[in-house]
Amino acid sequence: MAHKDITPIIKEFFILGVTSSGKQFRPSDWSERLCGAMSCFRQDGGRNAHLQYSPYVRPILLNGIRSVVVNEELRQIEPLAYHFVVDFAKDNDLQVVDACLLPEPDEKKS
């Protein structure tokens, strides 16, 4: 009988700081600004919480391109915030790419 790995699938996507025509998006700190606006959407968040990025919307440098990783769990937690982030990408003609999680290497096979 085959063993199934029952780990939850984390669905995420990247918003790249590059337009569909290949131009770099400005201002250069756009990803930090967007993630700062979304910082209250987390388990212990709220108006009076210490400022830190949400685990659902966080900045990342991806192959030298400022980007944002969006976890689709945000859609269940706060649909309006999720649509705000998605609409931001659409309104600014930014490239959106599905994230692909790679399995951790099995140390026993090494």
Per-residue pLDDT reduced to its tens digit, 38-89: 887 766 555 655 667 888 999 999 999 999 999 999 999 899 999 999 999 9
Which pLDDT does position 27 carry in this prediction? Answer: 93
Which pLDDT does position 40 carry in this prediction? Answer: 77
Which pLDDT does position 41 carry in this prediction? Answer: 74
104: left (phi over 0), alpha (psi -120 to 50) or beta: beta
Which pLDDT does position 42 carry in this prediction? Answer: 64
Largest CA distance in the chain: 55
Q: HSE of 95 in the Cβ direction (CA atoms, 13 Å)? A: 16
Per-residue pLDDT reduced to its tens digit, 87-105: 999 999 999 998 875 555 6
